[in-house]
Amino acid sequence: MIAVMIAGATAMFVSLFATRFLITFFRDRGKGQPILGKEDHGPEHHKKKSGTPTMGGLAIVGAAFIGWVVAHIRDGLAFSNQAMIIWVGIIVMAGMGLLDDVIKVNKGHNRGIFWKKKGYITFAMACGITWWLVAATNVSETISFTRFDWPGWEIPWWLWVVWTALMMWATTNAVNVTDGLDGLAGGSALLGFLAFTIIGYWSFRNPEVYGVLAGGTVNPLDLAVLSAGFAGACGGFLWWNAAPARIFMGDVGALGIGAALGLLAVGTNTHFLLPLICGVNVMEAGSVAIQMTIFKASGRKRRFFRMTPIHHHFELIGWPETTVIIRFWIIGGICVAAALAMFIGDFTRITDSGFVP
């Protein structure tokens, strides 16, 4: 538990000051976020935010990494191969986002050169990371809610790679879609990382229940520390990203956070809990899918929402931005609480029955 607290506190401290530094650094160099206007079917009411410093996700990912490393200085916590591979996945995805951010800022347009191809590129990258996980670690190759054997569906390794890559890819895109209001994506991610911190630490404390001793998750304590680092980093970033935001996280932050959440679900084998833990992100991405389906099916004549992602719909019907953010955070908190209730409920059921897998 001390290592978890060290990671979270260190990451929050570093993120708080690193984000402040990035605000000045990018502002002085004119590296501001371009906002899509009416001509691109963007949120015209957000044009006033154009020019706000971006790429603040560098502070989130960097601070989380520092917090994770510092926590290992204390005796008793080893660097696990699984966590290190997950970090490679996070950094690779964040790097892709950084490249896109730089292109957007330099072009002065909110669509990078890769915006049509980015989905294919990031999915291929996700497949490479999940293949590396299954090839180099003892990560559980079953599909489950809360344990390696509930329901514990066995699938071929190649299908597991595709499935988990889809999880990682979908989460990165969902977080990216959510990042449209000040603090919305960061606050929602903070709740998700707190959930994975609890799940990882609980698995570490009960290895016989969660398959740690049976070739399942590799060192869930290390995953809890990684998650705590991201939770602390998101907290420090939110100090400056809260409405009215002085900096945006950019794609570097959204893709890095999304990769971390998706890979933590893979590492803890909580595949089916991920949509609930990331409930706000699912709602945001789902609104875009519904809008696109109806729009195309109607011959480009009808829309279900006034604008997607859905947070813009609520703005256009009269909700102030801060009201949308706080209410979405409440929804996210309820979803995370429900996911943890399922996780703890399953543990209680197992321990009460006296059955140990």
How far apart are the C-alpha atoms of 145 and 295, rounded to whole Å? 34
**Helices 250-268, 57-71: inter-axial angle, 10-degree rounding:** 40
187 CB-near residues (< 8 Å, 6+ apart): 234, 238, 325, 329, 332
Read off the DSSP letter of residue 47.
G
**pLDDT attached to residue 56:** 92
What are the tokens at 172? Answer: 């990165």
How far apart are the C-alpha atoms of 53 and 27, rounded to whole Å? 6
116 CB-near residues (< 8 Å, 6+ apart): none
Phi-psi region of 42 (alpha: psi -120 to 50; beta: other; left: phi over 0): beta
How far apart are the C-alpha atoms of 70 and 131, rounded to whole Å? 28
Q: Give the global pTM.
A: 0.90
**pLDDT attached to residue 50:** 67
Domain that holds residue 146: 2-353
How far apart are the C-alpha atoms of 292 and 351, rounded to whole Å? 46
Read off the DSSP letter of residue 78.
P
Give the dihedral of Cα atoms 226, 229, 235, 237; nearest 10 deg. Answer: -100
Closest CA to 86 of 235, 260, 305: 260
Contact yes or no for 248/32 (Cβ under 8 A): no
Number of Cβ within 10 Å of residue 120's Cβ equals 11
Contact yes or no for 274/192 (Cβ under 8 A): no
Closest CA to 71 of 165, 158, 3: 3
Total domains in the chain come to: 1
How far apart are the C-alpha atoms of 206 and 159, rounded to whole Å? 29
Tell me which residues of the chain have a pLDDT lower than 70. Answer: 31-51, 108-116, 147-152, 209-218, 351-357
**pLDDT attached to residue 6:** 93
What are the tokens at 298? Answer: 């109607």
73 CB-near residues (< 8 Å, 6+ apart): none
> What are the pLDDT digits (tens) for 138-156?
777 778 777 666 666 777 8
332-343 residues labelled b (16+ CB within 10 A) or e (exposed): bbebbeebbebb
How many whole angstroms from its chain centre is CA 124? 18
How far apart are the C-alpha atoms of 95 and 101, rounded to whole Å? 10
